[in-house]
Amino acid sequence: MPRLSAGLSDTDEVNGAATATAEGAIRIAGIESVPETWVQEVIVLGDKNRNRLGPMPYAGFREAAAKGNIVLAIRTHDDGTEALAGYCLYAPTVRADRYARIAHLCVAQGERGQGIPARLVDAVMERCSDRLGLRLKCRDDWEAAAKWPSLGFEPVRRRTGRGKTNKPMTEWVRHNDDATTLLSLPSADPEHLLVAVDCNVFCDLFGTSPKRKHRFSGTVAVLAASEQIRLARPFSLTGELNRTTDLRERDALLHTAAASGLKLLKGDSAAVEELRDELFAGVPNNILATDDSLETDATLLAEAILGGADVFVTRDQNAVTYLGPTAAKGRDFTVLYPDELPAFIDRRADAAGYLPTQLHQTGYQVTRGDAATWNPERRMELLEKESGETKPEFRARIRASAERSVGTDDRQVMFTPDGDVLAIWAAHDIGTVLDVPLLRIQRGPLLPTIARQLSRAMRRRAADNGLTTVRLADTQAHVTIRAELQRDGFSPGPNGLLTATVLTTVGTWEQVKAAAHAVPETGVALPAHLGSTAEASEYERVLWPAKVLHPDLPTFFIPIRGVFADDLLGHMPTLLARPDSLGLSREHVYYKSGNTRPPSPGRILWYSSRRDKEVVACSRLVESVTGTPEVLHREFSNIGVLTLDQVRGVKNKQGKVTALRFADTEILKRPLPLARVQSLSVGTVNLTIQSPVPVDPATFKQLYEEGMRS
């Protein structure tokens, strides 16, 4: 089976675009704008051409469709019937790369010569206008390799393929001229994680059983197809596959394992056995008595570690809970569920560029600034020469912002501990829009961090003022600022300016989607239905502070002691309320005893358990990981402010702690006393225990809405 890769089907030709022929017309449409039945048409066409595209599991197609990452070419015949003429499946990569990758570009038989590939690629480029461009890899012996230049791509490097045949391949890039003036193409790909899969995930990806067509591990499939991870299989995996009871399915899986070219992970047999026993020893006896599969999982994990994998992905809860912490101890290695992989990749990419801990409890200050601060001649270091901004234009922009906002909080300045200006911005309420005519941040390692913090601060202000849109009117803002805003949910609105849709709706996806569609300047494309909890959480982030009451998106009361509530939550309603809160309200990590681990993604209602005895805040739960204090303190060092000794102080009897990575914290305007919480939940919630307590969607809606009332 060929490796996962982009490629044109071998019948395609690239010619000039044609919108109509004697047999009808072709239109380009995003998957989110057509009925769901078109996803199956994409699957059928992709399967027909899998020998030139690489295999994509059904769940991978559906994951990409749910995220709106498929563009279709649809032919409308003269009799009004429609047929799929081609599609392009792509995936925006992690922030460190800032490119979108094309995983599939496919045109149906009989549709060649219509310029369809060019129109599809142009559409993807337009939808990814915040990215530096498009990237893909294609084998040199495929016919498509000669056609990429006519689509605007140029070769940037040639390398040996990773498939079983090691056929040479070339990486191709199409630059986004509007975004690449300040940032050049990376000299190499960002480091790919080597991801080992267990038996159930391998079967999800490559099995033919009908029950797997619409479920499981779609995230892993898309990440692999878009070259953001490299898949691998432990040596003992084939032994597990050989136990498949369906003989036809077993033969197909074994053939795939042999022919797929996935890297084989193994180690010296004695070393594997020793490490397996070490992993197995950390499992409680009562768990061992009820889960025979853990011994096999321990062997696969040992082979993955010794074979050089970075991550082991499994759907086995006991493997994550009981084998994962021991596997990570003393190693740069992690055991994850499939849906946790994107958050992990994102966090790893952020480690060097997102540094909120550098802002914690420092001398950074935010004020209105005086006339001298807003003198444009003293702020010339914020002039964007590379984008063509002139000094007169810059002076006019600064003066207009200063004059319009004098004596108000509409203009803000951030100072470093040394008194230097780090950032300046201005924002004004115009109807239902928070207009931002000026947003400048000094270049340096803190630029992405500050941009992301200010993004959420502007959303919070808009929500508090009853506005539905934040609009970046500063067309000369630095490309990194724009990239961070787009990563945070901003998208080009009808007038081309970056806008964020701000909703305070708490309801079903249908209700939230209807509220978003009612916003005149929205640029967000929303799917008809949500396919997973991860997607529900993602749209809560994009439409923040909206809350999507998806039945499978969990909410938990998490008890937190008063001193930690002060340190981590601040009990302050806005991000910029005090200097030491600059790094707090956007993203953080809380450590608790490792006895229980709430699943992520989800939400947290923070219960200040000892001093206040109140529910004081709400956060998005991005990631939850159990391990040793030493490993987790290192993993979350860029967003955590607690010391290693503090983290060690909450470990359980087995020496484990659970790290809860949370973001976008909202301090409740009306903290909810325990008695009120129990009253609203009809007495079913007991918050005296020191462990997470689940909250049903209806109760969450009642509690959150009451807590956020002024």
Q: Give the tens place of pLDDT for each residue, 572-626.
A: 333 333 333 333 446 788 888 877 888 888 999 998 876 668 888 899 998 888 8
Question: What gap in Å lies between CA 20 and CA 184, rounded to an integer?
Answer: 38
**pLDDT number for residue 16:** 35
Q: Which amino acid is at 119?
A: R
Question: What gap in Å lies between CA 390 and CA 457, rounded to an integer?
Answer: 29
Record the tokens describing residue 666, joined without a space. 């909202």
**pLDDT number for residue 575:** 31
567, 606 Cβ separation under 8 angstroms:
no
Q: Which of 197, 178, 165, 192 is nearest to 133 (CA)?
A: 178
465, 429 Cβ separation under 8 angstroms:
yes
**pLDDT number for residue 312:** 95
* Range in 79-93, 150-164, 235-249 the model is least confident about: 150-164
Where would I find the beta strands (DSSP E) of 93-191?
100-107, 133-139, 154-160, 168-175
**pLDDT number for residue 583:** 38
pLDDT at 508 over 90: yes
**pLDDT number for residue 74:** 94
Strand partners, 234: 265
Record the tokens describing residue 670, joined without a space. 């009306």
- Ordered by where they begin, the domains of the chain are 20-183 (3.40.630.30), 194-350 (3.40.50.1010), 366-501 (3.40.630.30), 555-707 (2.30.130.30)
Sequence-distant (≥ 6) Cβ neighbours of residue 496 within 8 angstroms: none
pLDDT band at residue 188, thresholds of 50, 70 and 90? very low
pLDDT at 695 over 60: yes
Q: What is the mean pLDDT of the chain?
A: 80
pLDDT at 171 over 90: no
**pLDDT number for residue 565:** 61
- Which position has the higher pLDDT, 670 or 114? 670
* Range in 180-194, 499-513, 559-573, 686-700 the model is least confident about: 180-194
56, 4 Cβ separation under 8 angstroms:
yes
Identify the three-state secondary structure at position 185: coil
pLDDT band at residue 18, thresholds of 50, 70 and 90? very low
- pTM equals 0.61
- Count each helix (H run) and each strand (E run) in the chain, helices first: 24, 28
**pLDDT number for residue 243:** 86
672, 614 Cβ separation under 8 angstroms:
yes
* Range in 351-365, 378-392, 656-670 the model is least confident about: 351-365
pLDDT at 214 over 70: no
Task: Read off the pLDDT of residues 109-146 as tens digits, 9 standing for 90 and up.
Answer: 888 778 899 999 999 988 887 677 888 888 887 777 77
Tell me how far the alpha carbon of residue 592 is from its chain's centroid: 24
Phi-psi region of 388 (alpha: psi -120 to 50; beta: other; left: phi over 0): left
pLDDT at 176 over 90: no
Record the tokens describing residue 292, joined without a space. 């025979």
Q: Are strands 311-313 and 693-695 parallel, antiparallel or unpaired?
A: unpaired
pLDDT band at residue 180, thresholds of 50, 70 and 90? very low
pLDDT at 15 over 90: no
Percent of the chain at pLDDT exceeding 90: 24
Record the tokens describing residue 368, joined without a space. 């209105």
Question: What gap in Å lies between CA 454 and CA 452, rounded to an integer?
Answer: 5
**pLDDT number for residue 582:** 37
**pLDDT number for residue 130:** 67
* Range in 137-151, 173-187, 384-398, 688-702 the model is least confident about: 173-187
Distances (CA, A) of 459 to 102, 471, 473, 495, 584: 32, 10, 15, 20, 16
323, 335 Cβ separation under 8 angstroms:
yes
Helix (H) or strand (E) holding 647: helix 644-648
pLDDT at 2 over 50: no
**pLDDT number for residue 178:** 61
User: For 65-92, what is the mean pLDDT?
Assistant: 89
> Mean pLDDT: which of 211-215, 327-331, 394-398 is highest?
394-398
> Mean pLDDT: which of 255-259, 461-465, 633-637 is highest?
461-465
